Amino acid sequence: MAQVDVEYRDTYAGHVTEQRVGDTVRIAGWVGRRRDHGAIIFIDLRDASGIVQAVIDPASIPDARSLKLEYVVSLRGVVRARPDGTENPDMVTGMVEVAVDELTVLSAAETLPFMLDDRVDVDERTRLEYRYLDLRSPRMAANLRARSAAFRAMREVLDGLGFMDVDTPTLIRSTPEGARDVLVPSRLRKGSFYALPQSPQLFKQLLMVSGVDRYYQIARCYRDEDFRSDRQLEFIQLDLEGAFWGREGVFQTLEAVIGAVVERVRGVPVQTPFRRFTYADVMERYGTDKPDLRFGMEIHDISDLVADSAFGVFASTVAAGGAVKGINSGNVGLSRSALDALTDRARELGAKGLISLAVEETGLRSAVAKFLSDEEQTHIVQAFDAHPGDLILLVADDSKKASVVLGQLRLELGQPRDHEALAFLWVIDFPVFDVNDDGSLSPAHHPFTAPVDVNEMRTSPETAISRSYDLVLNGSELGSGSVRIHDPVVQEQVFDILGIGQEEAERRFGWFVKGLRFGTPPHAGFAVGIDRLLAILQGERSIREVIPFPKTQTGVDPMSGSPTPVDDDQLRELGIALRPEVKAEG
Amino acid sequence: MAQVDVEYRDTYAGHVTEQRVGDTVRIAGWVGRRRDHGAIIFIDLRDASGIVQAVIDPASIPDARSLKLEYVVSLRGVVRARPDGTENPDMVTGMVEVAVDELTVLSAAETLPFMLDDRVDVDERTRLEYRYLDLRSPRMAANLRARSAAFRAMREVLDGLGFMDVDTPTLIRSTPEGARDVLVPSRLRKGSFYALPQSPQLFKQLLMVSGVDRYYQIARCYRDEDFRSDRQLEFIQLDLEGAFWGREGVFQTLEAVIGAVVERVRGVPVQTPFRRFTYADVMERYGTDKPDLRFGMEIHDISDLVADSAFGVFASTVAAGGAVKGINSGNVGLSRSALDALTDRARELGAKGLISLAVEETGLRSAVAKFLSDEEQTHIVQAFDAHPGDLILLVADDSKKASVVLGQLRLELGQPRDHEALAFLWVIDFPVFDVNDDGSLSPAHHPFTAPVDVNEMRTSPETAISRSYDLVLNGSELGSGSVRIHDPVVQEQVFDILGIGQEEAERRFGWFVKGLRFGTPPHAGFAVGIDRLLAILQGERSIREVIPFPKTQTGVDPMSGSPTPVDDDQLRELGIALRPEVKAEG
């Protein structure tokens, strides 16, 4: 803890242990609990370090009678051992109490809108309205500490590796990619706008052009998305870039950074290097590009085993170029109705149906068992390494569809509820393009991502591979990165192949590509979503729990009431006006 | 330096010293200088660590002929001692050269718009347009390194003292104080706006309410000012706040932080504690609240000595309640015309005139000498501790005016041009109100600053003192802070006294004052302008030289061309439109 200020205290509450018995201490903090026994009053005095019990005789200190919950006080007293039988071995300070001889009330407190107790369920809007009280709760205070500790761990590792912390501008040129830019009207150049950065991407690449060797920044970024998912209008990412660098350097560095963060926040070591999977591999085995590897239940393709099956669905699916795949969901003991619900869920996810095979000592029990030969049944059981009691779920469909549906069922059946285990992995060899459901292609990454081969990108766009990579933890994408294009000619070709016309490319990115023309080192980088990482490490479902002052899903801060209307004079200065339809609403 | 990536290099250029003679090294970087001697080509290979000389035989490596300035290459070769007489002891790598046996051109470079040489004067707009090249120059690269080193030193000290790094939101409620807010239209709540923070003030105070003990943040802040002074639309500050904390704790902490920064950036220790002056004292002695203490030349009030002088201007000024003050500008050897110019300058600054007294062995030489008795002359010489050759400058005027004019002349005559010496000081005991020229009062600090006595603030506003303090370096204000108001009742009284009506206070700050009502610890804090500190430490006249990607004084980024017009569709989504007069201009 920090130095203490003698005006109010000379020690922290959490430091008043047996070693201090006999000492006179001065401490300051909040009145946590308060018990008035008439002739004696006990209070739990809480500060940022912990809690200590103080004992006050109201006969000599009448002010003690007026103390209420969350009053802020400074008190002086002698540390003494608690009477036999009243010790609390669960508390660091549980063997002692402070016999108060002087008390100063520094601040009163109104009745709180909710108790600071973790167990009481308060709706989130109320918690956000009184965020300063919410943050006093042990859970939220621990989240704040974890966040600060994570920042520190990241910086210590990167500083130690010779990275430079460079702050890039946040009022930049609007070059929207993916999400909408957050726009900022300029007063000095009316009618023009800055954008808040979606990431420092172009600036960090230009830092490489500038001769910076290794860059990092805990960067504030902005995306004006619809708030359906667990996103915020502003968020922070650990942003990295290096010159004369490639994927292996990025991986080593991030493994060191993440390892240090987990060690600091969780107190446990992380196994490195992280496992690596190609995109093709994870899609095949887990039906998703961000698999949760805390559990197995891999997808297996048994098309070969059932291509000639007497069960027509299998045979015809395989004959038509589809696949029969499945997972062994283990000994889940689903009821008939639970199985029906699972089938409905598979249909909801887009599958034509779901075939379940219960593995018994004597063979498979299933509506389709009678169509499967003994040999087929044996092969299927072997393919899934299944044992009596296990439940095998099969989907016969388009190969990708089957994987995606099974991947989702896998999560719903197998994903642990807690966040105790941490399963990190790298996904590499992403395709350049995502294939949409209608067969059209859309760029899978931002246009500065280097392709493995720009010619392949043009001639075989469906199968071309890019030099990008993702970091995944427990089924969440923590971040992504890539080797960048450092050749301005290749960059222009890639714009063209991605469908960004020459004029558009010049307008949006011309200033950046110009920078590549004066000697650009090969470079690579990454960005880690810090909010998501912390939420997982702290076992929180929403990133809002680990952000000091988040906004609601509609971008509102219930505490300050922002955003708010502003004076028309202010808008006039900016050269803008509200549209008539908006005015009418207001 | 960071780890190197074996794909391109296995060592840094600046690390190739005598110890490596005989080793085969692989290095990568930019072609700095290039000399083609026909049978042999020398290049200076530059990377972030430094420069090493490479020697290439174009007969075996024909590619070397095509190398131009700022090409990016990777090369392999054997380190050998330079031939006798060709060593360069001024370079770390000056005793060796690399005999290249393999060369790869990684990137070509077009002809640069300017040379990277420090001595060539390039206009700033061009430097900003090609900032990525500007940053390759030794001077700018050193500024970037200093900035990163300063961040690191600040964090190491504060982390060590138990401070928590907490990131506060940057899309906040508009509560303009002082400067204009930068506004951000909300898309999800059309017609409403966020503001970018002028500082994290209210959020850091609410962190104290939240139970955070010590907070810091290197915070991005925004002010939409007219760019006359050396300001930027966005800037960063080291922001601090502590609970149960006061001025002494703030001072100790900042002295440790600043000391570490100077040590890291300048390599010299700083004398602490810093000197302290009251506001009244510095105004009296230096005529400014941010005195440059690298030199003396203090202002002395000689009113008492000349109250009865035969020189009517002195006598009448003192009789009218004014003052006669002066500085000893030392042995400046000003010509007659230079003295005249100085008098003009004093008038320009608002003085009625300037009286100069040249100190000679035999007495004072001056147009007014004949009106001064021998005794008066002796007293004046003693008052200024003057010696033959010195020049004393006097102003007879309103007391404050005389100090301000003399303070400015003092700077213009005495201020060192370089930034070698560092003179830090604290200014304390600021008044609550500034007295304007017309006698009206305006708040000297933000309304959360604690007064020493709120009643005095109401009854004697002209003389009431606040609990605020400034940090000054070499005549620049580096930052300011205060003990804050932690009592919501006092806060409301202060709003009232500062002329912020109840309704306005409720509208702008109601949400914040509400937070003070649930148990607020006494707290204090500070903010240091990092850009200004770095500019002074690096000997730069403008903060733009130490900001990685600054904007011009009109808020334009010549590199990316921002700000830019945007589509009307984008504006429609935000519920705003350009005003007709702006459209017409566009």
- Which residue in this structure is represented by tokens 């949006």? A508
Residue A111 pLDDT > 90: yes
Helix residue ranges per DSSP H, A320-365 = 336-348
Contact residues, chain A, for B203 at CB < 8 Å: 548-549
Within a 10 A sphere around the Cβ of A204, how many other Cβ atoms? 24
Q: Give the DSSP H/E element, type plus range, for residue B542.
A: none
Probe site for chain B from A582, A583, A585 (most B CB atoms < 10 A): A582
Cα(A247)–Cα(A241) distance, rounded to whole angstroms? Answer: 11
Q: What is the CATH number of the domain that holds B17?
A: 2.40.50.140
* pLDDT tens digits, one per residue of A355-367: 999 999 988 999 9
Q: What angle do CA A368, A369, A374 make, to 5 degrees?
A: 140
What is the C-alpha to C-alpha distance for residues A225 and B187, in angstroms, rounded to an integer?
Answer: 9
Question: Are A586 and B186 in contact (CB < 8 Å)?
Answer: no
Query: Per the structure, how many domains does chain A have?
Result: 3
- CATH number of the domain residue B201 falls in: 3.30.930.10
Q: How far is A163 from chain B (nearest CA, A)?
A: 6
- Taking the C-alpha atoms of residue B280 and residue B327, their distance in angstroms, rounded to an integer, is 18
Q: What was the pLDDT predicted at B441? A: 85
Pair B465, B395 in one domain: no
Range of the domain at A346: 296-414
**Judged by CB atoms within 8 Å, which residues 14-53 of A form the interface with B?**
28-31, 46-49
pLDDT tens, A412-469?
999 998 889 999 999 999 999 988 878 888 888 999 999 999 999 999 998 999 999 9
- A178: closest CA of chain B, how far (Å): 14
- The pLDDT of residue B215 is 98
Mean pLDDT on A383-405: 96
Percent of chain B with pLDDT over 70: 97
Could you read off the pLDDT of A261-291 as tens digits, one per residue?
999 999 999 999 999 999 999 999 999 999 9
Last residue of a domain, one of A107, A129, A162: A107
Residue where the block lists tokens 């291509």: A307
| pLDDT tens figures, A484-539 | 999 999 999 999 999 899 999 999 999 999 999 999 999 999 999 999 999 999 99
Domain assignment present for residue A511? The answer is no
Does residue A89 share a domain with residue A195? no
Mean pLDDT (whole number) for B188-208: 97
Asked if residue B446 lies in contact with residue B433, where contact means CB atoms within 8 angstroms, the answer is: no
Of A173, A564, A574, the CB nearest to B192: A564
Q: Which residues, listed in sequence order, are joined to residue A364 by a DSSP beta bridge? A: A359
Given a cut of 60, is residue A406 above it in pLDDT? yes
Using the 3D structure, point to which of A89, A107, A125 is the last residue of a domain: A107
Is residue A369 in a domain? yes
> Is the minimum CB–CB distance between B511 and chain A shorter than 8 Å?
yes
Write the CA distances from B556 to A117, A194, B222, integer angstroms. Answer: 51, 10, 15
pLDDT band at B88 (very low <50, low <70, confident <90, very high): very high
Q: Tell me, what's the pLDDT at A251?
A: 97
Q: Which parts of A357-487 fold into alpha helices (H)?
A: 374-383, 399-414, 454-459
Are residues B446 and B547 both part of a single domain?
A: yes
Would you give the end-to-end CA distance of chain B in angstroms? Answer: 49
**How large is the average pLDDT for residues A78-86?**
96
Under the banding of pLDDT at 50, 70 and 90, the label for residue A319 is very high
A542 — pLDDT class (breaks 50, 70, 90): very high
Query: Do A268 and A177 lie in a common domain?
Result: yes
Q: Which of B1, B2, B519 lies nearest to residue A72, judging by beta carbons?
A: B519
| Residue range A554-576: mean pLDDT, rounded | 94
**Residue B586 — pLDDT band, cuts 50, 70, 90?**
low
* Residue whose C-alpha is closest to residue A195's, from A160, A224, A217: A224
Answer whether the bond into residue A563 is a cis peptide, omega within 30°.
Answer: yes
Chosen domain end from A107, A123, A152: A107
What are A517's two structure tokens?
């023309």
Quick one: B401 and B356 in the same domain?
A: yes
Estimate the share of chain B in helix, then strand, then coil, as percent rounded to the nearest 5: 30, 25, 40
Backbone angles phi, psi at B220, to 5 degrees: -80, 130
Cβ atoms of B322 and B398 within 8 Å: the answer is yes
Are both A311 and A343 inside the same structural domain?
yes
Report whether pLDDT(B1) > 60: no
Task: Give residue A118's pLDDT band: very low, low, confident or very high (50, 70, 90).
Answer: low
Beta strand B323-328 pairing with B363-365: unpaired
Answer whether residue B457 is part of any domain. yes
What pLDDT does A363 receive? 87
Within the 160-219 window of chain B, which residues sit less than 8 Å (CB to CB) from chain A?
161-174, 180-196, 202-203, 206-207, 209-214, 218
Q: Which two tokens stand for residue A309?
A: 């099956």
A66 contacts in B (CB within 8 Å)? none
Q: Which residues of A fall within a CB distance of 8 Å from B244?
A: 4-5, 7-9, 28, 47, 74
Instruction: Give alpha helix (H) positions in A161-267.
Output: 201-209, 247-266
Please name the residues in contact with A362: beta carbons below 8 A apart, sequence gap of 6 or more: none
State whether A160 and A242 are in the same domain: yes
Cα A105 from chain centre: 41
Residue A185: is the preceding peptide bond cis (ω within 30°)? no
Tens of pLDDT, residue by residue over B8-23, are 999 999 999 999 999 9
B50: in domain:
yes
Compare CB distances from B48 to A28, A152, A211 and report the shortest one's residue. Answer: A211
- Taking one residue from A and the other from B, the number of pairs with CB-CB distance under 8 angstroms is 410
A316–chain B nearest CA distance, Å:
50
Tell me the pLDDT tens digit for each residue of B328-368: 999 888 888 999 999 999 999 999 999 999 999 988 999 99
A307 lies in some domain: yes
Unique residue bearing structure tokens 């802020």:
A72
Q: What is the pLDDT of residues A225-244, one digit of tens each?
A: 876 678 899 999 999 999 99
Disruptive mutation site among A131, A218, A248, A566 for chain B (greatest number of B CBs within 10 Å)? A566
Within 8 A of B151 by CB-CB distance, chain A residues are 165
Instruction: Tell me what pLDDT residue B280 has.
Output: 96
Q: Is residue B120 part of a domain?
A: no
Q: What are B468-482's pLDDT values in tens digits? A: 999 999 999 999 999
Is B247 in the A-facing interface, judged by CB distances under 8 Å? no
pLDDT at residue A3 greater than cutoff 60: no
In this predicted structure, the answer to whether residue B6 has a pLDDT above a threshold of 80 is no
Indicate if B440 and B564 belong to the same structural domain.
yes
Per residue in A296-306, is it b (16+ CB within 10 Å) or e — as a string? ebbbbbbbebb
- Interaxial angle between packed helices B279-286 and B399-414, expressed in degrees from 0 to 180 and rounded to the nearest 10: 70
CB pair distance less than 8 Å for B7 and A565: no
Mean of the per-residue pLDDT values for chain B? 94
Q: Please tell me whether residues B96 and B176 are part of one structural domain.
A: no
Q: What percent of chain A has pLDDT over 70?
A: 97
The reported pLDDT for the residue numbered B177 is: 66
Contact B107 A486 (CB under 8 A): yes
Both A88 and A169 in one domain: the answer is: no
In this structure, are strands A72-81 and A164-165 parallel, antiparallel, or unpaired?
Answer: unpaired
> Please, is A156 exposed, middle or buried when counting C-beta atoms within 10 Å of its C-beta (0-12, 13-18, 19+)?
middle
pLDDT at A2: 52
Q: Could you read off the pLDDT of A175-206 as tens digits, one per residue?
A: 866 678 999 999 999 999 999 999 999 999 99
pLDDT at A4 over 60: no
Q: Flag whether B536 is in a domain.
A: yes
In the predicted structure, residue B234 carries a pLDDT above the cut 90: yes
Check whether B165 has a pLDDT greater than 80: yes
Q: What pLDDT sits at residue A119? A: 59
CATH number reported for the structural domain that contains residue B361 in this entry: 3.30.1360.30
The per-residue b/e assignment along A12-23, b for 16 or more CB within 10 angstroms, e otherwise, is: bbbbbbeebeee
Asked whether the whole model's pTM tops 0.90, one would answer: yes
Would an 8 Å CB–CB cutoff place B105 in contact with chain A? no
Q: Are residues A158 and A263 in the same domain?
A: yes
Which strands make up the sheet holding B476-483, listed edge to edge? B164-165, B214-222, B234-243, B523-529, B476-483, B468-473, B424-428, B275-278
Question: Is the residue at A402 inside a domain?
Answer: yes
Quote the pLDDT of residue B49. 96
Which of A437-451, A553-567, B568-582 shows the lowest per-residue confidence on average (mean pLDDT)? A437-451
Distance from CA of A50 to the nearest CA of B (A): 11
pLDDT one-digit tens code per residue, B428-447: 999 999 888 788 888 889 99
Whether residue B178 is found in the same domain as residue B61: no
CB of A421 less than 8 A from some CB of B: no
pLDDT band at A586 (very low <50, low <70, confident <90, very high): low
